[in-house]
Structures are given as C-alpha cells and as structure tokens.
C-alpha cells in the first residue's frame, strides 16, 4: 500500500519523497487538504504524512475531517512549531504522531514504519510486545505466555492504550473508552489504571503525562 504525503512546499516535499522512496515506500503526493480527501476517497493508503501549514484548510482540519468521515488511517503530522497546546489539539483531533521540522529523513521513515506496524498489528487483532501479547478480538492478555485476569474496565483501558502504543492518549479518550455512557471521574479512571499497572508488572509501563494523558510503553529486554 502507498503512503499519502500532503505538503504544499516543493522543496520540503521533494526531500520527504526522496527519503521515503529510499526507504522503499511508494508515495503519492498532494498539495492540499481537499486533494488529500479526494485521493483518500479513491485509494486506501497505509498512512498519511500531513503538513500542518497548507493553503486552504490546514493539516489539523484535514485530520478532523478524516476522523469524522470514519477514516482510521494512521496520520503523522509535520509541524514547524510544536507546543504542548498544539500537541494536545492534534491528539484530540485524532492525529497519531508528530514530527517537528526540521527532521532527518531516517527519523521520518522510522516513525512511518512504527505507525504502520501498530495499525497492522491492531488490524490482525493481536499486538505483540516484548513479553506481552494482547489479543484484541479474543480479549486476552498474556505476559510471558501466562494469561492475566483483567476486569472489564482494566481491559478497556489496556485496549485503548495498546491501539496507540507509544503515543500519548488523552485522558478524555480513555475515560470515553472505559465508560462511554456515563461520566467517570479522573480519580476513578486513575484507580483502574493503577490496578492495570500492577498487573502489567515490569512487562510494560503506563506513564501518566501531566495535562496530556497516558502512554503505554513496552519494556526493552534487559
């Protein structure tokens, strides 16, 4: 499957195209949010690399439009400045990752690979981390081949974080996943997160990032 690049600046786009082509990706480039939407309507892309600064609708508006149209393709946002507020906004809109300009081609290719690996793992239903295996369709968590018992809410927290492993998931999104029909307080959510954390032991870490949300990180083997 091809990658979609949404970037209006020719010099930046050429550099990205060279880097991704060298990493064996086939890339379709468009110059605007509108052209990106048209391309996505015609073809299924493995990933979209989207610059924030575009003529007409900007990159974040594009992400919001894709998500509200039910498109789940992974999105990597390129941005010149990346403040905390920018990140929160982009994550809330449904972006999957960011890269601040300027960046190295190798880093862009690595981020693309990671995003596509995560989304294909999630599509197969089984996400394998170092010592942990999460079967999303069978709702089973195994650590070192041993099945771990989780409550329904612990499972929902895990599922929500595993689908975006390595990325910051806003607290509101986890709250929504755990209790879509009712309000759950941040404290109540923290209780489920703490219990899940204890069950994961040292197989994975759930980090709390103040003001941003949670991030599940796999542990590298020692």
Q: Which residues bind Ca ion (CB under 5 A)?
A: 8-9, 51, 53
Nearer to Ca ion, 60 or 193 (CB): 60
171-178 vs 152-162: helix axis angle to the nearest 10?
140
- Site of tokens 């468009």: 30
CB of 54 to Ca ion, least distance (A): 6
- Determine contact, residues 2/44, Cβ cutoff 8 Å: no
Residue 134 CA from chain centroid, whole number:
17
End-to-end CA distance of the chain: 35
What are 48's strand-pairing partners? 4, 75
CB of 81 to Ca ion, least distance (A): 13
Nearer to Ca ion, 78 or 160 (CB): 78
CB of 12 to Ca ion, least distance (A): 7
CB of 194 to Ca ion, least distance (A): 42
Residue nearest to Ca ion (CB): 53
Nearer to Ca ion, 8 or 34 (CB): 8
Nearer to Ca ion, 9 or 92 (CB): 9
Instruction: Give dist(CA 187, CA 177) in Å, integer.
Output: 15
């Amino acid at each position: 499957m091809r990658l979609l690049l949404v970037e209006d600046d020719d010099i930046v786009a050429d550099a990205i195209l060279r880097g991704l082509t060298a990493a064996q990706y086939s890339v379709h480039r468009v110059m605007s949010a509108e052209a990106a939407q048209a391309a996505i309507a015609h073809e299924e892309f493995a990933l979209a690399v989207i610059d924030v600064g575009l003529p007409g609708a900007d990159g974040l508006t594009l992400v919001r439009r894709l998500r509200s149209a039910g498109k789940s393709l992974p999105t990597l946002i390129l941005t010149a400045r990346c403040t905390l507020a920018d990140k929160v906004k982009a994550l809330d809109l449904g972006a999957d990752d960011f890269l601040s300009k300027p960046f190295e081609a190798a880093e862009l290719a690595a981020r693309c690979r990671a995003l596509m690996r995560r989304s294909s793992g999630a599509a197969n239903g089984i996400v394998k981390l170092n010592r942990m295996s999460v079967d999303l369709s069978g709702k089973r968590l195994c650590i070192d081949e041993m099945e771990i018992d989780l409550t329904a809410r612990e499972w929902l927290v895990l599922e929500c974080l595993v689908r975006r492993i390595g990325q910051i998931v806003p607290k509101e999104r986890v709250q929504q996943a755990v209790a879509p029909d009712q309000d759950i307080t941040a404290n109540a959510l923290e209780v489920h997160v703490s219990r899940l954390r204890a069950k994961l032991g040292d197989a994975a870490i759930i980090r709390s990032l103040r003001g941003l949300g949670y991030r599940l990180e796999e542990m590298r083997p020692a």
